[in-house]
A and B are shown apart, each in its own frame.
Chain A
Amino acid sequence: MNVLVPDFDFHRVFIAPWTENLASFGWITLMGFLVTATCGWVGNFLILRRMALVGDAISHSVLPGLAVAFLLSQSRGTLPMFLGALVAGIVATVLIELIHKKSRVKQDAAIGIAFTSLFALGVILINLYAGKGGVDLDQECVLYGEIAFVPLEPMVMVGGQILGPIPVVRMGFVALATALLIALFYKELLVSSFDPALAVSLGISATFVHYALMGWLSVVVVSAFESVGAILVIAMLILPGATATLLSHRLPVMLGLTLLHAALSAVLGIHLALWLDCSPAGAMVVAGTLIFVAAWIFSPSEGLLRRWFRARLEAPAVGSS
Chain B
Amino acid sequence: MKRGLQLALLFFGIALPALTGHAARIGDLSETNIAEQALRFFTFQDPAVRYALLGSILLGITCGLLGGFIVVRKMALVGDALSHAVLPGVALGFLWNMSKDPLAIFIGAVLAGLLGAAAVHLIKHTTRLKEDTALGLVLASFFAVGICLVTMIQRLPTGNKSGIDKFLFGQAAAIGAGDVQLMAVVTGLAVLVILLFYKEFLLTSFDAGFARAAGFPVQAIHYTLMLLLAFAIVIALQAVGVVLVSAMLITPAAAAYLLTDRMHRLLALAAIFGLFAGALGAFLSFLRPNLPTGPLMVLAATTIFVLAFLFGPRHGVLARWWRQRSSAARIQRENTLKAVYHVLEAREFKGEGVSLRELAERRRETVKDARQQAGELRRHDFASLQEDGNAIYLTPEGWQRACAIVRNHRLWELYLTNAAHIAADHVHEDAEKIEHVLGEEVVRLIEKRLNYATRDPHGRSIPGLADLRRGASPESPASGPTGYGRSA
Enumerate chain A interface residues (CB-CB to B < 8 A).
Answer: 1-5, 47, 50-53, 55-56, 64, 68, 71-72, 87-88, 90-91, 94-95, 97-99, 101-106, 108-113, 116-117, 119-121, 123-125, 127-129, 139, 143-144, 231-232, 234-235, 237-239, 241-242, 245-246, 273, 276-279, 281-283, 285-286, 288-289, 292, 296, 302, 304, 307
Task: Identify B315's interface contact among A53, A104, A281, CB under 8 A.
Answer: A104
Smallest beta-carbon distance B294→chain A, Å: 7
For B135-163 the 0/1 string (1 means CB < 8 A from A) is 11101110111011101110111000000
How many residues of B are counted as interface, with CB atoms below 8 angstroms from the partner's CB atoms? 74
Kindly state the separation between the CA atoms of A121 and B165 in the bound complex, as whole angstroms: 19
Q: Are A112 and B19 in contact (CB under 8 A)?
A: no
Q: Are B147 and A143 in contact (CB under 8 A)?
A: yes
For B73-89 the 0/1 string (1 means CB < 8 A from A) is 01111011000100000
Task: Identify B156's interface contact among A2, A94, A106, CB under 8 A.
Answer: A2
User: Cβ of B291: which chain A residues have Cβ within 8 Å of it?
Assistant: 124, 127-128
15 other A-B residue contacts (CB within 8 Å) besides A2-B156, A246-B127, A307-B126: A50-B133, A52-B133, A56-B136, A87-B7, A87-B11, A90-B7, A94-B4, A105-B257, A112-B254, A117-B302, A144-B151, A235-B143, A245-B128, A277-B152, A279-B147
Q: Are A239 and B140 in contact (CB under 8 A)?
A: yes
Task: Identify B155's interface contact among A94, A238, A277, CB under 8 A.
Answer: A277
Kindly state the separation between the CA atoms of A110 and B299 in the bound complex, as whole angstroms: 15
Q: Are A237 and B77 in contact (CB under 8 A)?
A: no
Task: Identify A245's interface contact among B129, B136, B147, CB under 8 A.
Answer: B129
Task: Identify A121's interface contact among B5, B15, B128, B151, CB under 8 A.
Answer: B15
Q: Are B299 and A120 in contact (CB under 8 A)?
A: yes
Kindly state the separation between the CA atoms of A241 and B8 in the bound complex, as whole angstroms: 32
- DSSP class of A's interface residues: helix, strand, loop or mixed? helix
Q: Is B290 an interface residue (CB 8 A)?
A: yes
> Contacts A2-B157, A292-B141 given: A51-B132 contact, CB under 8 Å?
yes
Q: Is B202 an interface residue (CB 8 A)?
A: no
For B305-329 the 0/1 string (1 means CB < 8 A from A) is 1000100000101001000000000
CB nearest to A109 among chain B residues: B76
CB nearest to B168 among chain A residues: A143
Q: Are A279 and B302 in contact (CB under 8 A)?
A: no
Smallest beta-carbon distance A305→chain B, Å: 11
Kindly state the separation between the CA atoms of A296 and B123 in the bound complex, as whole angstroms: 9
Q: Shortest 8 CB-CB distances between A and B: which pairs? A: A235-B140, A116-B247, A285-B144, A120-B295, A94-B4, A282-B147, A289-B141, A120-B298
CB nearest to A98 among chain B residues: B4
Task: Identify B148's interface contact among A90, A102, A117, A286, CB under 8 A.
Answer: A286
For B1-45 the 0/1 string (1 means CB < 8 A from A) is 100110110010011001100100000000000000000000000
Q: Are A103 and B309 in contact (CB under 8 A)?
A: yes
User: Cβ of A108: which chain B residues have Cβ within 8 Å of it?
Assistant: 74-77
Q: Are A302 and B257 in contact (CB under 8 A)?
A: no
Task: Identify B136's interface contact among A52, A87, A101, CB under 8 A.
Answer: A52
User: Cβ of A109: which chain B residues have Cβ within 8 Å of it?
Assistant: 71, 74, 76, 250, 253-254, 257
Q: Would you mind naming 18 contact pairs between A and B with Cβ atoms under 8 Å apart? A: A4-B153, A47-B129, A51-B132, A52-B136, A68-B18, A91-B7, A98-B8, A105-B71, A109-B74, A113-B247, A125-B18, A139-B168, A143-B147, A144-B151, A276-B152, A277-B155, A302-B127, A307-B126
CB nearest to B123 among chain A residues: A296
Q: Are A91 and B11 in contact (CB under 8 A)?
A: yes
Q: Are B137 and A242 in contact (CB under 8 A)?
A: yes
Kindly state the separation between the CA atoms of A279 and B144 in the bound complex, as whole angstroms: 9
Enumerate chain B interface residues (CB-CB to A < 8 A).
Answer: 1, 4-5, 7-8, 11, 14-15, 18-19, 22, 71, 74-77, 79-80, 84, 95, 123, 126-130, 132-133, 135-137, 139-141, 143-145, 147-149, 151-153, 155-157, 165, 168-169, 243-244, 246-247, 249-251, 253-254, 257-258, 290-292, 294-296, 298-299, 302, 305, 309, 315, 317, 320
User: Cβ of B253: which chain A residues have Cβ within 8 Å of it?
Assistant: 109
User: Cβ of A2: which chain B residues have Cβ within 8 Å of it?
Assistant: 156-157
User: Cβ of A116: which chain B residues have Cβ within 8 Å of it?
Assistant: 244, 246-247, 250-251, 298, 302
User: Cβ of A273: which chain B residues have Cβ within 8 Å of it?
Assistant: 148
Smallest beta-carbon distance A42→chain B, Å: 13
CB nearest to A277 among chain B residues: B155
CB nearest to B5 among chain A residues: A98
Smallest beta-carbon distance A149→chain B, Å: 14
User: Cβ of A127: which chain B residues have Cβ within 8 Å of it?
Assistant: 290-292, 295
Smallest beta-carbon distance B216→chain A, Å: 24
Most chain A CB within 10 A, of B75, B95, B148, B299, is at B148
CB nearest to A287 among chain B residues: B144
User: Cβ of B250: which chain A residues have Cβ within 8 Å of it?
Assistant: 109, 112-113, 116
User: Cβ of A241: which chain B residues have Cβ within 8 Å of it?
Assistant: 133
CB nearest to B3 among chain A residues: A94
> Contacts A231-B84, A282-B144 given: A111-B152 contact, CB under 8 Å?
no
CB nearest to B321 among chain A residues: A102
User: Cβ of B128: which chain A residues have Cβ within 8 Å of it?
Assistant: 245-246, 302
Kindly state the separation between the CA atoms of A91 and B296 in the bound complex, as whole angstroms: 20
User: Cβ of A56: which chain B residues have Cβ within 8 Å of it?
Assistant: 77, 80, 136, 139
Kindly state the separation between the CA atoms of A102 and B77 in the bound complex, as whole angstroms: 20
